[in-house]
Amino acid sequence: MQILDLSHVLTNGMPVYPQDPPFILEEIVNFENHSYSLSILKTGLHAGTHIDAPYHFHSSGLKINQINLKDLMGTARIIDVEKEVKAEDLPSLENMDILIIRTSWSNKWGKKEYFKDNPYLSLEAAEIISKSQIKGVGIDGPSVDPPGEITIHQKLLSNGRWIVENLKNLDLIKSPLVEIYFIPLALEGEASPVRAFAKIK
């Protein structure tokens, strides 16, 4: 069995969503002057590979620490889409926990165009997902919405689905069905960086 890492490394200078705060990791104690290292971290919660909890857009929605860990892992179905995920692109959403949208957009990570004209979910597709048993949706791009819009976030999150964005390495998964795990920090907030990984048999 292989464990495939699906997360971008969190590092200084990494790309963040336009207008979001930068990611800053600062070593304030180092081995040159002490016998150990100690760092401080300052970041927006939506940096890198991260999960949006329902509270992101709804005051009564679950925060990250309130999402049951068992609901952040399970059988995922991967679908391949170049641009807009339409209703007809969706498979049967039965017997699966998570829907993963693979667009190869992660190949643009670190380039200016990554946050421009990205792939996204149509409203019709989001409505179908919201009425299904799916726990959450992941995508290898910066958002499930077109740039500058929030309608799809509102639809999914208001119906209790979480969203994972900025996945990578999906092209290395050959099977349409895979076991996927999204492990966030136990934050009392609307989002968290995640260590995302898949089990490949």
Q: What are the chain's domains?
A: 2-6+46-200 (3.50.30.50)
| Beta strands 73-80 and 98-102, pairing class | parallel
Say what the pTM is.
0.97
Q: How far are the Cα atoms of 27, 111, 179 from residue 98, in angstroms, in the given order? A: 37, 28, 9
pLDDT mean over 110-114: 95
Share of the chain above pLDDT 90, in %: 98
Cβ-proximal residues to 123 (8 Å cutoff; 6+ apart), any chain: 151, 152, 155
Q: How many CB atoms lie within 10 A of CB 12?
A: 9
Distance from C-alpha of 106 to C-alpha of 111, rounded to nearest angstrom: 10
- What integer pLDDT is reported at residue 33 of this predicted model? 86
C-alpha 54/C-alpha 79 separation (Å) is: 23
**Which is nearest to 99 in space by CA: 66, 141, 132?**
132
**% of the chain at pLDDT higher than 70:** 100
Interval 162-187: pLDDT, tens: 999 999 999 999 999 999 999 999 99
Q: Which residues of 53-68 are buried (b: 16+ CB within 10 A; e: fewer)?
A: bbbbbbeebbbbeebe
User: Three-class SS string for 122-159?
Assistant: CHHHHHHHHCCCCCEEEECCCCCCCCCCCHHHHHHHHC
Mean pLDDT on 41-69: 97
Residue 189 pLDDT > 90? yes
- Going by pLDDT thresholds of 50, 70 and 90, the confidence category of residue 103 is very high
Counting beta carbons within 10 angstroms of the beta carbon of residue 51, is it exposed (0 to 12), middle (13 to 18) or buried (19 or more)?
buried
* DSSP classification of residue 58: -
Question: Does the structure show a pLDDT above 90 at 157?
Answer: yes
Exactly one of 8, 56, 58, 153 is catalytic; which is it?
56
- pLDDT at residue 201 tops 90: no
CA separation for the pair 199, 150 (Å, rounded)? 32
3-state secondary structure of 5: strand
* pLDDT for residue 177: 94
| 34 annotated active-site | no
pLDDT at 4: 98
> Cα-Cα-Cα-Cα dihedral of 131, 56, 63, 9, to 10°?
100
